[in-house]
Structure 1
């Protein structure tokens, strides 16, 4: 019998391969909207009269909106019909993207960008929805496919944004994204299964209690705490590379163009796509071993990355290794936490992704500060330190014969 603080799970419809791919594409497109502005900062500064010292607020407000959305929107998937929640968020996201693309003043632009970040958390709602629809024996595989879509969207967003802005102007970036998001919304509305009706006696959490229970999950679930810390460390390492690598590449002796720098996102995407089998390894009971091997690869990836100024091949190899390792841990993390409490999948995802955001912010801020003070070699030491801490945490929290 369900207790007063649980939601009775609905019957699980079958999740086809085609629907899984739609989840992956929609998630990748949604999350890409957080990163579209990064190559456009100089142009936005010029067009809206934003000073160079404050134009970073364009990115910061989007990230702040995303963080708020993780806490206030994503847990709703455990309270309301997930299909309706996803479609509503996608429709509103289309509206905010159109507002950014047609903004006539800086206040409108910044407000619309913050709202875009807030609604882009539909990515996590989609992930939780996909995991809830998947059979337990296939959940890791489904999470792996959707995660590959998300990471591909993150890594390619900057490249596509810069290229499209060169062709048709920065407004076209957001208007095209709005059009693509609208098409995906129509597809999701048609394909996503409708929720079955809950029994009349099924208990429902109030919204405030839902948010409090998100925090309570950290105290209740040891695996959740450990995996959230893994997320913080792997994405600190991830952000250490991708928030800073453009600096040594744009300076002598390399002096690469923006297009050439963006092309290295393709190497990272290749590594991310290769991480999809991590979900299948989890389904076979190899989640803990996969995590350990991935952390070893993550530490090792900083050796070739340290040679970036001497060899672009070294950068490409290091980027593939790093993204492969990060996404292997990320996929395994999500597969494990979804299995803990199927009735709380959205809340688990919200809490987990908050640690993801903290790690990303720490890595980005620390890497650029360290680069300014001590150069690229020290940045690589920083990234290796985050990676080694993750490996140490895995070693001390993974007893023999126990999967965490």
Structure 2
């Protein structure tokens, strides 16, 4: 059934999105009618994370050899693409939960009960860079349920975090797949495929017992440093395709989340507005203590665009430049936010109205649903 539904998503057209959303929501609700409706729990038991490098905390093993990643916390490279904690860590702290153990570093079943991070740096909804896609990450948690390491009862009392999508667009933009003259329908079809892939995974998580899910919309791609590099990190792009990708993706994702919340009993998804949060940080970062809002702290020299800053040459000399204080920068490297930026973004989600999409603050949502 999941394969058939995925095929429908891949072949769908933007003009029938609403009917499709209703259809898969109804199908899933029918399939899962035997599952109990959960209205809330007294605090989440654990957190389970899915996505890309914004939330990966150690599944990308090669990073362990690259300082200055992890230089501020925990003091050494530990699998995060910044100097300290990332979005997954900050959300775990907000929920007063242990940091989820990276899936590839699980040592025993008890660790899985304290939370697991399935995210992979470079991952997408599609197979973007050929790495573990979202559907495969959900396969991994499903395998833990099938092995009785995790139970549906435990997952009903837990919270999931899903942050993915940027790599799907980034790889296409780098290959020149979408330029300003591209046909609108082609762009819409691709966006539909990506968003429906996220929706399918949310339905599958529901089927495994998950009831409380935090989902992020897209980062602000027009202001990403691999884009602003051409202006020496001084201004965001006005490329119509980048702007359209972000706005249409976010709009369709909002529709999908609304449909799933309405049709799947007991499901509580909150959509946090990552686009808006980073728009504030890039354009009004000084109000939050940032002195450099677009210039990355660490800029690499070893790969195109300096995407990874932690390389040394054969003599051991750093192939990157590093700022003095990462906490004054919104961005640590040319893709990933600093720990201070993530902490500020999560504070906005949690406490300031308007930084979730069509819902209460993240803190109010937690209180309402007992997470």
TM-score tier after normalising by the smaller chain length: under 0.3
Between the two structures, name the one with larger relative contact order (CA 8 Å, sep ≥ 6): 1
More strand by share: 2
More helix by share: 1
Q: What TM-score results when the alignment is normalised by the length of structure 2?
A: 0.28
